[in-house]
Amino acid sequence: MSAGLVSRRSFEDYVGLRQGVLAASWMVLSVAVGTAHPHKTLTVVNAASDAAVAAPASVASAYGTGIGASTAIALNVPLPTTLSGVSMEIIDAANVSQAISLFYVSPNQINFVVPDGAAPGTATINITNGSGAPVSTTVEIANVAPGLFTANSAGTGVAAAIAIRRAIATQTDTTVPVFQCNAHACFSVPIDVGDGAQAFLELYGTGIRGRSSLANVTATLGGMNLPVLFAGPQGQFPGLDQVNLQLPQLLHGMGEKDLVLTVDGQVANTVRVNIR
């Protein structure tokens, strides 16, 4: 097995095959995250799972009316701390204040990265947009707050993932689709785990990198345990984490099932994966 599938560099090792997925990932982090779950009051949630908990160096979303004056997307890294006139700060449970890096700003939604090193506990988030007094809310910070991105950006349904089939005879890798979307919905695409190849699944999420050890990351598909090869920073996008799983041939014919990821005892949002 190549190092690419057991390290954070797999996205970069296969970048020639995955330009479309890279572009889609940037758009998910910048814009689409959580848009299917609007909030009526100022709220901060995990950008992938929509849960009201975030982790250091993870992607989060703030929702509220009029929190941004106009819409803007950060096009490069390092991310800015001011975007479209909006800036944010976090004051963590240790009373340490840090500026926040921003992915995306709109009148009702801001996507950002929780600063690395934010202390666990209740943190205050302050948003300044130049059109009035700063607005504030709170969010719980935990060492891990696992969330998985989904194809529909709602935190439910088929995983926003990549599958790899490695031909045993030639040791060549081919990316295969895990989902497809039309104007109305996203659907799972069956992954072939049949004879003649090894199959792997790359999940993308956030709030995972703070795990205590790889041994404390588990995944099940339809109740069956999957080998976890890597769980940590994806390495290219701020706040984006990656989990690499092996798909054993004994899964053959399983169909579409729930995939459950658990990190240090914390369960991520359930996603769907289809096995031929």
pLDDT tens, 174-224? 999 999 999 999 999 999 998 899 999 999 999 999 999 999 999 999 999
**Do 77 and 116 sit in the same domain of this protein?**
yes
**Per-residue pLDDT tens digits for 222-241:** 999 999 999 999 988 899 99
Domain boundary among 110, 142, 174: 142
Task: Give the model's pLDDT for residue 31.
Answer: 57
154 plus 267 within the same structural domain: yes
* β-bridge mates for residue 143, sequence order: none
- Indicate whether 217 and 111 sit together in one domain: no
Please check whether residues 74 and 100 belong to one and the same domain.
yes
Instruction: Share the mean pLDDT of the chain.
Output: 88
Residue 84 phi/psi, 5° resolution?
55, 40
Q: Which residue among 142, 172, 190 closes a domain?
A: 142
Res. 19 pLDDT band, cuts 50 70 90: very low
Mean pLDDT along residues 120-125: 98
Specify whether 259 is located in the same domain as 177.
Answer: yes
Residue 39 in this model has a pLDDT that exceeds 90: no
Domain end call among 108, 125, 142: 142
Does 106 lie in the same domain as 217?
Answer: no
Statement to judge: residues 44 and 125 lie in one domain: yes
- For 60-102, how does the pLDDT look when each residue is reduced to its tens digit (9 = 90+)? 999 999 999 899 999 888 999 999 999 999 999 999 999 999 9
- Residue 188's alpha-carbon distances to 102, 181, 229, in angstroms, are 31, 9, 23
Q: How many domains does the chain have?
A: 2
Is 103 in the same domain as 173? no
Could you tell me the sign of the dihedral formed by the alpha carbons of 125, 78, 264, 246, in that order?
positive
136 plus 152 within the same structural domain: no
- What does the pLDDT look like over 138-186, one tens digit per residue? 999 999 999 999 988 899 999 999 999 999 999 999 999 999 999 999 9
Q: Are residues 163 and 244 in the same domain?
A: yes
8 Å CB contact between 241 and 205 = yes
Burial classification of residue 75, based on how many CB atoms lie within 10 Å of its CB (0-12 exposed, 13-18 middle, 19 or more buried) = exposed
User: Is the domain of 122 the same as that of 198?
Assistant: no
CATH number for the domain harbouring residue 102:
2.60.40.10
For 112, counting Cβ atoms within 10 Å of its Cβ (0-12 exposed, 13-18 middle, 19+ buried), the class is buried
- Say if residue 133 is in the same domain as residue 153: no
Q: For residue 200, what are its two tokens?
A: 């792997």
Q: Which domain holds residue 96?
A: 34-142
